[in-house]
Chain A
Amino acid sequence: MLDIQKIRADFPILQQKVNGKPLVYFDNGATSQKPQVVIDAISKYYQEINANIHRGVHTLSQLATDAYEIARGKVQNHINAKHAHEVLFTSGTTFGINLVANGFASILKPGDEVIVSHLEHHSNIVPWQMLCEKTGATLKVIPMNENGELVMAEYDKLLSDKTKIVTVNHISNALGTINPIKYMIDKAHEVGAAILIDGAQSVPHLKPDVQALDCDFYAFSGHKMCGPTGTGILYGKEAWLNKLPPYQGGGEMIKEVTFEKTTYAELPHKFEAGTPHIAGGIVLGTAIDYLNEVGFENIQQQELELLAYATERLSEIEGLRIYGNSEAKTSVISFNIEGIHPYDIGSIIDKLGIAVRTGHHCAQPIMNFFGIPGTIRASFSFYNTKEEIDALVDAVKKAQLMLS
């Protein structure tokens, strides 16, 4: 059982007031807040060991390089990757997905198929559309049902020897649905296709084991898991990373450069051109340490309690509909109130100190499925409380009164 007040004391931003009201931060799906240890680690890096990595023989450069590689090792352990060089530092999930989609341009041929799902964030749709335009491959979409779940029977039918890659999120950002990715990975492999998992929304809530999952790629962002913005990880199986061409050319990613020909560096450096977000990478390691100290079992227990409580309390409100009713769901509630635009609710409850996301959540196909302009999304983290959910419910009721 977590001592929530002790946890909350770790997050200085949660102590402040917004619009004169205590901040209730329920936009964790967009980005998480940062604990003091993470904030401190950023300034400590710049105060004590700032230097460029892998380049200098001087002491600071060595210290920075060591710290960066230690962080890579922490990520490797955290996701249980077989090798540290299968863990690439990126600027975020979007970069990781684009890196893979770009690499597949050299593999796909006209007539090949790429499978995405109806539940994807735009960043896991658009790069694949661009890839298909470039290569003449066809984009196939796994449909969803009214509960916000992917229809596995349809997925099975879409798979064939034409399928070259499947890409799906572990957890839907708009609805919170946890997808049956183990099943999907095994099925993709049966037809010889690769599979990428977009883990942007899963890593704050669970610890993915990439070897047990046997996925080919797993992309996620640091900023949603208490780490700095501008950080992310792309895990890729060694064989795949060796097969894919580099994404960006530049320093650090080469073995030898002449004007006639350049040979590329070994993994992971082949995919890490230029000076990376060194402080960010190191501090992502700090964030992972912090989350593991809190413990993912504790995190899940707290978040599922919040989800159950919020679902129950919000359901009291007349005319409120929750989108995404899968049994397998994380601590996200997407909802609307009959006859009221989500923007209006969001604007009013903001005045009451409550931060939620409104709009289409970069998942317009999902909104089109339900025939709505958007939803109000409250996404909970382990540092949120039931009292905050009460404040949300009161605020929504007040907004409803003002707007009807």
Chain B
Amino acid sequence: MKIKDIQEEIVDEFSMFDDWMQRYEYIIELGKNLPLIKEEFKVDENLIKGCQSKVWLQGEQNEDKIVFTADSDAILTKGIIAILIRVFSNQTPKDIIDAEMGFIDEIGLKEHLSPTRANGLVSMIKNIKMYALAFNTRG
């Protein structure tokens, strides 16, 4: 599935919720359910330090695509990571680099991805794109 289609799918899912509480409950579920990263990758080299919560991100090349795994110590952050992984993992470097992020606003999570929130998510997206750039150059 293409990034744009996945994003539309997520926007559709979120449109079923009436209020923030249902959205948050869904994100919390996502955060709880997904085993996101192998313990061996939860190391300092993969750590993005936010003031508020920590994020670990690991990217691996699988043929022409990049597979991302990630984790966080905060459950809301982890739930949003699950959404980002769903969008960006198993995509080609070029598609990742070209991806737009407008859907985050549409699903009402913009505040969590504000650069001033310091929860590691903005840096996570930056790092995802950096992985893509690095793999793109290498490939």
* Cross-chain contact B25 with A343 (CB below 8 angstroms): no
* Cross-chain contact A344 with B20 (CB below 8 angstroms): no
Contact of B74 among A343, A351, A360 (CB under 8 A): A343
Q: Scan residues 311-348 of chain A and give those whose CB is less than 8 A from a CB of chain B.
A: 340-344, 346-348
Does residue B123 face the partner (Cβ distance < 8 Å to A)? no
* Cross-chain contact B53 with A373 (CB below 8 angstroms): yes
* Cross-chain contact A343 with B24 (CB below 8 angstroms): no
Q: A373-B54, A374-B52 are in contact. Are A341 and B25 (CB under 8 A)?
A: no
* Cross-chain contact A373 with B24 (CB below 8 angstroms): no
Contact of A359 among B25, B52, B77 (CB under 8 A): B52
> How many Å lie between the Cα of A403 and that of B77 in the bound state?
12
* Cross-chain contact B21 with A402 (CB below 8 angstroms): yes
* Cross-chain contact A341 with B24 (CB below 8 angstroms): no
Does residue B51 face the partner (Cβ distance < 8 Å to A)? yes
* Cross-chain contact B52 with A343 (CB below 8 angstroms): yes
* Cross-chain contact B51 with A344 (CB below 8 angstroms): no
B contact residues, total (Cβ < 8 Å): 17
Interface size class of A (residues with CB under 8 A): 10 to 19
Does residue A358 face the partner (Cβ distance < 8 Å to B)? yes
Contact of A343 among B20, B21, B76 (CB under 8 A): B76
B66 shortest CB reach to chain A, Å: 27
> How many Å lie between the Cα of A373 and that of B28 in the bound state?
19
* Cross-chain contact A403 with B52 (CB below 8 angstroms): no
Q: Which A residues lie within 8 Å of B24 (CB)?
A: 347-348, 351, 402
Q: Other than the known A343-B53, A343-B77, what 6 A-B pairs have Cβ atoms closer than 8 Å? A: A343-B74, A348-B24, A351-B21, A360-B51, A373-B54, A374-B52
A-B contact pairs, 14 of them (CB 8 A): A19-B20, A341-B74, A341-B75, A343-B77, A344-B75, A344-B76, A347-B112, A348-B24, A351-B20, A351-B24, A360-B51, A373-B73, A374-B52, A403-B75
